[in-house]
Amino acid sequence: MTDKVDEALSYEQARDELIEVVRRLEAGGTTLEESLALWERGEELARVCRRWLEGARARLDAALAEEEDEGEGEGEGEAGPAKDGERAG
């Protein structure tokens, strides 16, 4: 498959195909040429999965940073809610 086709794969599609590639390699019974082709495909699929996971991590980090920024802005100049046993103020 080409890179453009690989980029169109969802994480789950790439992961499932990678699992199948690994299963076939572990089962054996393939020629050297087939094994090399499977290994190369596995590397491509692992790269696709890694990109998806890196993108997900970046989105989570951005969302968490945004949440922290919003939380800091809300607390400025205010006492905030009282905790158990404490007075607000």
pLDDT in tens, 17-32: 999 999 999 999 999 9
Is 86 contained in some domain?
A: no
**Hey, what are 46's tokens?**
């692992």
Is 84 contained in some domain?
A: no
pTM of the model: 0.69
Is 11 contained in some domain?
A: yes
Asked if pLDDT for residue 42 goes beyond 80, the answer is yes
Domain coverage including residue 18: 3-67
What CATH code is carried by the domain that includes residue 14?
1.10.287
Which amino acid belongs to residue 19? I
Classify residue 38 by its DSSP letter.
Answer: H
CB 44 within 8 A of CB 1: yes
Nearest to 45 by CA among 10, 15, 25: 15
Average pLDDT over residues 62-88: 69
Residue 41 has a CB neighbour count (10 Å cut-off) of 18
Is 37 contained in some domain?
A: yes
